[in-house]
Amino acid sequence: MPEDASWAVLSGARQSRVGVAPVATDAVVGFATRSLRVEIDRGTLELTIRDAQGNVVQQDARPIAFDGRTFRIWKKMPLDEHYFGLGDKTGPLDRRNEAFTLWNTDAYRYQESTDPLYKSIPFFMTYRSGVAAGILLDNTWRSSFDFGKQVRDTYSFGAEDGPLDYYFLYGPSPKQVVEAYVWLTGTPPLPPLWTLGYQQSRYSYYPQARVLEVADRLRADHFPADAIYLDIDYQQDNRPFTVNTALFPDFSGMIAKLTAENLHAVAITDLHIANYPGHGYAPYDSGMAADAFVKNPDGSVYAGKVWPGSSVFPEFTRARTRAWWGGLYREFYGMGIAGFWNDMNEPSIFDSPTLTMPIDVVHRIEEPGFQTRTATHAEIHNVYGMENSRATFDGLLALKPDLRPFVLTRATYAGGQRYAATWTGDNSSTWNHLRMTTPMLKNLGLSGFAFAGADVGGYAGTPAPELLTKWFEIAAFQPIDRDHTEKGSGDQEPWVGGPEQEAIRRHFVETRYELMPYLYTLAEEASRTGVPLERPLFFEFPDAAADHHPLDVDPAASGEFLLGPDLLIAPPPFLEEVEAYPVELPSADWYDFWTGERVARPAAAQVGPVVVTARPEAATLPIFVRGGSIVPMQPLVESTNETPQGPLDLRVYVGDGGEGRSCEGSLYLDDGKTMAYRQGAFLRAGFTCLVADGVLRIHIGAHEGSYPAWWKEIHGEVYGWSATSATVVVDGRSEPVPLSRSSQAIHFTVDDNGKGVDLELR
């Protein structure tokens, strides 16, 4: 048997134990937990897992098979079961009737049928009649997953070598499955607040004057933004950790100027180190001295051609090499570069017939939890990009222990969310690629990557102004909002296409910044639980359909997604079409986010989703708010570094449930930069409302934690309720509160001293 070790699963989870009751009959042997009964057939070794009521949750279709070192596992595939996950694979959200390979690949200009892609996340979720479970195949070798494509009633998975080591994760809700998966593989770190802002990028902004020109234009146009990216052309001859001083004569001064304008610089640092001996190139010289590079089978250092030409590659499977790599960031991090971007880390190699390292290249594993040994690239390939981002993240943390690192990676493996955010790679500037973004991000979220995005506008090609605008609109409600394009394409900044297009794009990005309290609260939740920001409808509404199938597989809902539990974004399923289209709402109680108008409920009680009609328009995007939610918002800022001026805005959407109907929401806040929140320097508050005896009672909870609020007052907007008077309880005394009205809402403003506020609206 291969070594019992894992790059993906946390040591604490691997060592965890729970009591079980043995199960043994003449036919089966196994055990039972509080929720499950696990049985292995004595004759065939086939596995059956049942819930506490005896229902089959998962069952082998045939015995596990080995062919040399290759193995395969087959599971029975009920007609009504659906499959999600595997990261950012293309195609529909549901993996049913599809087959995939996991082998990290630089897939420039990938299309809807392209496979494999950049990441290998061998985790998927099964979903049947509202019951969810998960499978993690913890194997780094080239693997494959077939969801009924080859055999109609069977799904299967396996690998060409390595351990047959897989985890079954029972829900029964989708949220419980994701939480169990990140309990195994780790939660993402709480990101710096600025990473939730709008980010401007291209390959490449150069020279220095062009970088500052883009920054100045963003600020002159009052377009909210928090980051500008520097692609490889800032480097001397594309050599990582260098600066082309001819193009960037005052690099540190440029970083300081961006910082002064509240724009964070993110610099690319590809993992290939130029094979450049005898020229004083410190990363190469120090790496050779540390014996830090991957080797050929004959013991020589492996070299392959990438952007700098001949390049060598760090041995990230050694803890000491990762520490060396992390130290390379000292100068850049010290001058104020705020984040780093690890690209090309599949690894991508230009002069190899496979476009990556030969599989017989030798890696040395010197790592806690593993035997000290060598391994071929065939075993390490899929984990190589994750260990690159791990080295970057840990290195930044070692350099500035009190500052939250930001790392963006293209290639990764299961558990890579512990170290980096990600994006969907080199997409294209087409309507179809914009449509593909939603299922890719939803499946990444279900696969542990709560912080993910896609290049806004598309990387390959030049989008028409209308396509770029619609992409801006949708991306404003996705976890990472980064506009990025390739060298040789047209300009893709917010102002491209004229003032009318820029005004539309600005409106949606401004809405994102107004929603920052809601976004950051979701980010903090993800850092504790792994629950994604962008979610499928079935994640929050597993029982929305009468037969409990996931609504997201319906054609009418295929373009929809949730941002957190309360906002539903509903672009057209086919974005270039101009005809009206149906929107499926997973419950009956929703409001229009833009107008506050309540969505008309069906005339008679019905089971299943509510269908409303929307019409595509260039300047609009249908967004709905769940009845029973309280959404925190803030006054507009142009950067997350700015302190909002004015009251905190609470939008209260009263649920339509009669007496006892209620609503709830929450808010999390800290300095957005440091680790001080771990010592209690945060602010957490909960909000509720309750209808009783014809009175709407709103409770604004006391502040928890030591971090001070930026607001002194709370402005409330109450939707779905009529009132003529309001009172607030202050220090046990009831005082009247002035009310004002708009077309759909009642407005009030109250002081908030952090001790809690109670209001009654009659």
Asked about 346 being catalytic, the answer comes back as: yes
Name which of 71, 109, 107, 115 is nearest 91 in CA terms: 115
The C-alpha atoms of residue 15 and residue 5 are separated, in whole angstroms, by 12
> Out of 160, 343, 552, 752, which one is annotated catalytic?
343
Q: Name the nearest CA neighbour of 226 among 189, 259, 251, 269.
A: 259
Rounded Cα gap, residues 537 and 553, in angstroms: 10
Cα–Cα distance for residue pair 131/171, rounded to 1 Å: 7
Round to whole Å and give the CA distance between 681 and 156: 48
- Is the peptide bond prior to 207 cis by the omega test (within 30 degrees of 0)? yes
Two structure tokens written together for 706:
């030591």
Distance CA 162, CA 497 (A): 53
Distance separating alpha carbons of residues 448 and 526, to the nearest angstrom: 9
Closest C-alpha to 317, from 379, 270, 360, 261? 379
Contacts of 658 by beta carbon, 8 Å cutoff, 6+ apart: 691
Strand 198-200 to strand 227-230: parallel, antiparallel, or no bridges (unpaired)? parallel
473 is catalytic: no
What phi-psi label fits residue 279: left (phi over 0), alpha (psi between -120 and 50 degrees) or beta? alpha
Position 17, amino acid: R
Burial (Cβ within 10 Å: 0-12, 13-18, ≥19) of residue 29 = middle
What is the Cα gyration radius of the chain? 27
**466 phi and psi angles, rounded to 5 deg:** -65, -40
Catalytic-role residue among 94, 160, 315, 346? 346
Element (H, E) at 399: helix 377-399
Q: For residues 680 and 362, give the distance between their C-alpha atoms in angstroms, rounded to a whole number.
A: 46
Instruction: Output b/e per residue, 265-276; b: 16+ Cβ within 10 A.
Output: bbbbbbbbbbbb
Q: Report the 3 state secondary structure along 162-224.
A: CCCCEEEEECCCHHHHHHHHHHHHCCCCCCCHHHHCEEECCCCCCCHHHHHHHHHHHHHCCCC
Q: Could you give the residue ranges of the DSSP H alpha helices within 530-606?
A: 537-540
* β-pair partners for 74: 62, 156
The residue annotated as part of the active site, out of 46, 115, 231, 426, is: 426
Is the Cβ–Cβ distance between 508 and 470 less than 8 Å?
Answer: no
Q: Active-site residue 693, yes or no?
A: no
Q: Is 253 helix (H, G, I), strand (E, B) or coil?
A: helix
Q: Is the separation of the CB atoms in 123 and 448 below 8 Å? A: yes
For residue 276, the one-letter residue type is Y
Query: How many other CB atoms are found less than 10 A from the CB of residue 490?
Result: 14
Residues 6+ apart with CB under 8 A from 562: 534, 535, 536, 537, 539, 540, 568, 569
3-state secondary structure of 355: coil
Q: Exposed/middle/buried for 617, CB within 10 Å: 0-12, 13-18, 19+?
A: exposed
If residue 57 lies in a helix (H) or strand (E), which one and from where to where?
strand 56-67
Contact 326, 401 (CB under 8 A): no
Catalytic residue positions? 343, 346, 426
